[in-house]
């Protein structure tokens, strides 16, 4: 499907950079849709894609459609919206769905796409904007294997590591767990560094010690310096962190599992939203735990 | 001080292995004291040290005394106990204190040792039993620099990486933070894997994905497999995890810092103690979060 025309629905920072990457790789990016018309126009200018007024039009102009939207609700809107939706012209289309969603949304979508003569695949991303731009995303894929094989070449252009996890919904389950644990580690690190600051410790030294010991983590590498410098430019928003932790907590509830750290983390990110800090990067949770910052 | 005679107070698994290592390095380990006479006798047999009936006797037989006890209370007992204590014969002795304690205990101890004509150093360990045996501990040292220089050669025999953190109490502060964050990451990992099990995911796969993503951490390397296999042989006990998280929480309280993840983690380890699981390794917290295990 190297010749497939590619459409994009949702060109926030991830979708935008994935589309640019595919354009760099000489895929025809032919259609773009986003309620943020500024982003859509910008992408159109850079890739030659047509800015579509309707979702149906996106389908008419492309065979493979990436959806990179915010949450379950947005996903339902683009696929099942009353006056206009992607399923209106889904025959022989492949939808690659990249948002972090509740697993059941992917399961339902697979059925509905099939009914409409198309097919869907979940491709959950565990990386951030620079990786999207560079084509080095870590992807977790769920769905039917033949759908995966059909778009593998395209996915390889945006990813340096693809893991096929299993049937529809399973990649979303893994992704929810990844983000749940990542968020816990982030909120925990913010507590450690915040208390270190209160104690008057040299925080650079503290980070070095953390890195050498049982306190080490990926988020120490990616977020610690931002926490110290209060540089919360958004790669992965606190709002999204809250959403993803909640997806995991809802799954846990189905099994009556009590996950107090996931819950405490979710609550921290909800506090950030309530304080109007939801758009900060997830590292912004340090604002709640460092003495003298916003949480005080 | 290569010729210094070395005494050991507290030969649990860490102290025991550190003493063996120093013996291997041809330091004269001359005195040992532990309420667990079995461990003391065992060490005496392996090193030629004398098993002492009193703490005062340990001092009389050695110049450098390592203390590797459980907690603040045990520390106060060996230094300030009414009928017998280490300060009774502290003149020109150097005490190297390795337990994870409240920082204020180290500060007080430095004063009391000086008054008694001796000196003290905190050497907090951020490694486990195999590293103690192999002489590859990661040490955080706090106290007076000249005391540190005086015993540096000895410390280098048990450590592959020593970091001098600052004045008395500061190494204990850093150590409390290391363990607080480590415990959070451990309890968080147990939640992620427990939910993964409930969801029927392949847990080996899940661990591999965690390792490639923002969920990665040192405890993923050290504890994940033990959580899956329920192999909770003790390297660092849940009891100690509770104690160390509490030290950090007490410090936070002084600054009115609200640390919900540290608190949730502390409560998990307290639940383990209440369930009689305090002697399990810290990885045993998975017993609370995996479906169908003890927490259910």
Q: What is the pLDDT of residues A177-195, one digit of tens each?
A: 999 999 999 999 999 999 9
- Section B63-82 average pLDDT: 96
What ipTM is given for this predicted complex?
A: 0.93
Closest chain A residue by Cα to residue B212:
A138
Do the chains contact at A181 and B188, CB–CB below 8 Å?
A: yes
Calculate how close chain A gets to B106, using CA atoms only, in Å: 15
d(CA B283, CA B238): 8
Contact (CB, 8 A) for B137 and B160? yes
User: What are the residues whose beta carbons fall under 8 Å from the beta carbon of A240, sequence distance 6 or more?
Assistant: A70, A100, A282
Give the nearest partner residue to B213 out of A126, A191, A192, using CB atoms: A126
User: What are the residues whose beta carbons fall under 8 Å from the beta carbon of B111, sequence distance 6 or more?
Assistant: none
Note the pLDDT of residue A296: 55
Do the chains contact at A195 and B174, CB–CB below 8 Å?
A: no
Model confidence band, residue B217 (pLDDT cutoffs 50, 70, 90): very high
Residue-wise pLDDT tens digits, A21-72: 999 999 999 999 999 999 999 999 999 999 999 999 999 999 999 999 999 9
Note the pLDDT of residue A263: 98
User: What are the residues whose beta carbons fall under 8 Å from the beta carbon of A166, sequence distance 6 or more?
Assistant: A142
From chain A, pick out residues whose CB is under 8 angstroms from the CB of B177.
192, 195-196, 199, 201, 206, 210, 215
Note the pLDDT of residue A1: 45
The β-bridge relationship of strands B137-143 and B94-97 is: unpaired
Note the pLDDT of residue A61: 98
Q: What is the pTM of this model?
A: 0.93
d(CA A99, CA A140): 11
- Is residue A120's pLDDT more than 90? yes
From chain B, pick out residues whose CB is under 8 angstroms from the CB of A188.
181, 184-185, 188, 261-262, 265
Note the pLDDT of residue A128: 85
Closest chain B residue by Cα to residue A206:
B174
Q: Look over chain A and give the mean of its residue pLDDT values, rounded to a whole number.
A: 96
Note the pLDDT of residue B228: 97
Do the chains contact at B259 and A194, CB–CB below 8 Å?
A: yes
- Section A107-133 average pLDDT: 95
Residue-wise pLDDT tens digits, B260-281: 999 999 999 999 999 999 999 9
Do the chains contact at B173 and A199, CB–CB below 8 Å?
A: yes
Note the pLDDT of residue B3: 76
- Section B13-25 average pLDDT: 96
Do the chains contact at B258 and A295, CB–CB below 8 Å?
A: yes
Do the chains contact at A178 and B140, CB–CB below 8 Å?
A: no
Do the chains contact at B174 and A265, CB–CB below 8 Å?
A: no
d(CA A118, CA B142): 66
Tell me how far apart the terminal alpha carbons of chain A are, to the nearest angstrom.
55
Calculate how close chain A gets to B215, using CA atoms only, in Å: 4
Closest chain A residue by Cα to residue B174:
A206
H/E stretch holding B97: strand B94-97
CA distances from A71 to A67, A105, A129 (A): 11, 10, 18
User: What are the residues whose beta carbons fall under 8 Å from the beta carbon of A217, sequence distance 6 or more?
Assistant: A185, A189, B185, B216, B217, B218
User: What are the residues whose beta carbons fall under 8 Å from the beta carbon of B165, sequence distance 6 or more?
Assistant: A205, A209, B140, B141, B142, B171, B174
Closest chain A residue by Cα to residue B176:
A192
Note the pLDDT of residue B40: 97
**Among the listed residues A36, A83, A17, A27, the one whose alpha carbon sits nearest the alpha carbon of residue A56:** A83
- Section B97-120 average pLDDT: 96
Secondary structure (DSSP) of A246-272:
HHHHHHHHHTT---HHHHHHHHHHHHH
Do the chains contact at A177 and B185, CB–CB below 8 Å?
A: no
d(CA A159, CA A60): 26
Q: Give the strand order in the sheet containing B64-67.
A: B50-51, B29-33, B6-9, B64-67, B94-97, B119-125, B137-143, B159-166
From chain A, pick out residues whose CB is under 8 angstroms from the CB of B264.
260-261, 263-264
Do the chains contact at B261 and A258, CB–CB below 8 Å?
A: no
- What are the sequence ranges of the domains in chain B? 6-167, 173-289
The backbone torsions φ and ψ at residue A69, rounded to the nearest 5 degrees and listed phi first, read: -105, -175
d(CA A283, CA A276): 15
Give the residue ranges of DSSP H helices in chain B: 13-24, 37-47, 55-61, 72-80, 103-115, 129-134, 145-158, 170-198, 203-212, 218-229, 238-254, 260-274, 286-289
Do the chains contact at B180 and A173, CB–CB below 8 Å?
A: no
Do the chains contact at B187 and A219, CB–CB below 8 Å?
A: no
Residue-wise pLDDT tens digits, A136-152: 999 999 999 999 999 99
The CATH class, in words, for A173-289 is mainly alpha
**Among the listed residues A200, A196, A220, the one whose alpha carbon sits nearest the alpha carbon of residue A208:** A220
d(CA A169, CA A69): 17
Note the pLDDT of residue A295: 63
Model confidence band, residue B296 (pLDDT cutoffs 50, 70, 90): low
Residue-wise pLDDT tens digits, A240-267: 999 999 999 999 999 999 999 999 999 9
From chain B, pick out residues whose CB is under 8 angstroms from the CB of A203.
none
Residue-wise pLDDT tens digits, B151-170: 999 999 999 999 999 999 99
Calculate how close chain A gets to B72, using CA atoms only, in Å: 19
User: What are the residues whose beta carbons fall under 8 Å from the beta carbon of A180, sequence distance 6 or more?
Assistant: A244, A245, A248, A249, A259, A262, A265, B191, B192, B195
Does domain B6-167 fall into CATH 1.10.240.10? Answer: no
Note the pLDDT of residue B128: 85
Contact (CB, 8 A) for B154 and B236? no
Q: Look over chain B and give the mean of its residue pLDDT values, rounded to a whole number.
A: 96
From chain B, pick out residues whose CB is under 8 angstroms from the CB of A226.
none
Give the nearest partner residue to A194 out of B127, B182, B257, using CB atoms: B257
The backbone torsions φ and ψ at residue B126, rounded to the nearest 5 degrees and listed phi first, read: -120, 55
Note the pLDDT of residue B294: 79
- Is residue B1's pLDDT more than 50? no
User: What sign results for the dihedral spanned by CA atoms A115, A119, A120, A121?
Assistant: positive
Model confidence band, residue B127 (pLDDT cutoffs 50, 70, 90): confident
> To the nearest whole percent, how much of chain A has pLDDT over 90?
96
Calculate how close chain A gets to B94, using CA atoms only, in Å: 25
Give the nearest partner residue to A189 out of B140, B181, B212, using CB atoms: B181
The backbone torsions φ and ψ at residue A169, rounded to the nearest 5 degrees and listed phi first, read: 100, -25
Calculate how close chain B gets to A24, using CA atoms only, in Å: 25
Note the pLDDT of residue A127: 84
From chain B, pick out residues whose CB is under 8 angstroms from the CB of A138.
212-213
Give the nearest partner residue to A214 out of B188, B214, B222, using CB atoms: B222
Do the chains contact at B212 and A268, CB–CB below 8 Å?
A: no
From chain A, pick out residues whose CB is under 8 angstroms from the CB of B271.
none
Do the chains contact at B218 and A218, CB–CB below 8 Å?
A: no
From chain B, pick out residues whose CB is under 8 angstroms from the CB of A218.
213-217
Contact (CB, 8 A) for B182 and A215? yes
List residues bridging with A164 in a β-sheet.
A141
d(CA B33, CA B50): 9
The backbone torsions φ and ψ at residue B137, rounded to the nearest 5 degrees and listed phi first, read: -65, 150
Contact (CB, 8 A) for B18 and B132? yes
Give me the total of CB pairs closer than 8 Å, taking one residue from chain A and one from chain B.
Answer: 222
């Amino acid at each position: 499907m190297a010749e497939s025309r590619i459409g994009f629905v949702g060109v926030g920072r991830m979708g935008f950079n994935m589309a640019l990457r595919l354009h760099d790789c000489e895929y025809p990016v032919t259609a773009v849709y986003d309620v943020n018309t500024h982003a859509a126009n910008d992408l159109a200018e850079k890739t030659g894609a047509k800015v579509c007024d309707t979702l149906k039009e996106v389908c008419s102009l492309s065979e493979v459609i990436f959806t990179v939207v915010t949450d379950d609700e947005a996903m339902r809107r683009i696929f099942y919206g009353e006056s206009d939706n992607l399923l209106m012209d889904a025959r022989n289309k492949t939808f690659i769905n990249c948002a972090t969603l509740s697993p059941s949304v992917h399961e339902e979508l697979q059925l509905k796409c099939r009914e409409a003569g198309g097919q869907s695949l979940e491709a959950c991303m565990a990386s951030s904007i620079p990786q999207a731009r560079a084509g080095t995303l870590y992807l977790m894929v769920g769905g039917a294997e033949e759908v995966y094989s059909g778009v593998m070449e395209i996915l390889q252009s945006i990813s340096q590591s693809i893991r096929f996890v299993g049937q529809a919904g399973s990649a979303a389950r893994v992704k929810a767990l990844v983000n749940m644990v990542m968020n816990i580690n982030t909120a925990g690190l913010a507590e450690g560094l915040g208390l270190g600051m209160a104690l008057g410790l040299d925080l650079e030294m503290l980070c070095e010690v953390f890195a050498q010991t049982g306190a080490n983590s990926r988020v120490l590498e990616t977020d610690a310096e931002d926490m110290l410098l209060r540089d919360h430019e958004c790669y992965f928003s606190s709002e999204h962190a809250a959403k993803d932790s909640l997806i995991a907590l809802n799954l846990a509830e189905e099994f009556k599992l009590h996950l107090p750290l996931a819950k405490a983390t979710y609550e921290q990110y909800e506090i950030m939203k309530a304080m109007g800090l939801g758009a900060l990067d997830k590292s912004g949770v340090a604002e709640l735990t460092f003495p003298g910052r916003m949480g005080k």
